Amino acid sequence: MSQQEYGYAIELYMDPALENQVLKAWNALARRQISTHLIDMESRPHITLFSFPSSSSSSLDPSKFDSILETFASKQDPLPLSFSAIGSLSGDSNLLFLSPTPTLSLLHLHSHLSDALRKEGIDVPADYSVDNWIPHCSVAKHVPKARMAEGFSVLRDLKLPVTGYAVDIALVEFSPVRELFSFVLGTSAGS
């Protein structure tokens, strides 16, 4: 059993049809008993824009993100997404993911939010800096090394690309995942 993770994350949520495609991958991996971690931690399909683990978030005030994200979301349009590849991050989490095509609009969204956070005095963790961020949508976490190949095989059965839109941005606390607040992209503040 892996150790519990705690902290905050800024997540980009997708439209219901695209979210359902990601949930199909989660469920296929769970049926094969490869990983149920994301389901167990009550996560929702997303692209993590920034993660602030407990070691770096002890001094973070979650309410500070409210106005930053509301203002930011009001200036963004829903963002086209196309999950076109599968990938893996090794290390402690043994993560399998769907990779969105890294469009200029996705990279700009991340970069502009990074600038907005820094302007408010929030330090962006190194793994999520503009030059290091790997856009991805997790589909399995803490996959046993001996099952990684099988996990890839299950994901290869998905009919990629799957496309849709990023429609909301949220601040969540983890683990388990609890959404603190979210904002629809393109919604003017106060509307």
Q: What is the mean pLDDT of residues 105-123?
A: 96
Structure-token match 């929702």, residue found: 44
- Bridge partners of 80? 165
pLDDT, one tens digit per residue, over 143-155 is 999 999 999 999 9
Q: Is the pLDDT of residue 84 over 70?
A: yes
Structure tokens given for 145 = 């090394």
pLDDT of 190 reads 44
Q: Is 152 exposed, middle or buried (0-12, 13-18, 19+ CB in 10 A)?
A: middle
Nearest CA among 175, 155, 151 for reference residue 1:
175
The span from the CA of 50 to the CA of 133, in Å, is 9
- Which residue pairs from 151-157 have beta carbons closer than 8 angstroms and sit at least 24 positions apart in sequence? 151/29, 151/34, 151/35, 151/96, 152/86, 152/88, 152/96, 154/25, 154/28, 154/29, 154/32, 154/34, 155/25, 155/28, 155/29, 155/86, 155/96, 155/98, 156/86, 157/28
Type of residue at 49: L
pTM of the model: 0.90
What is the predicted pLDDT for the residue at 145? 92
Looking up tokens 């408010």 gives: 120
Instruction: Place 15 in a pLDDT band, splitting at 50, 70 and 90.
Output: very high
- Condensed to tens digits (0 to 9), the pLDDT of residues 16-53 reads 999 999 999 999 999 999 999 999 988 999 999 999 98
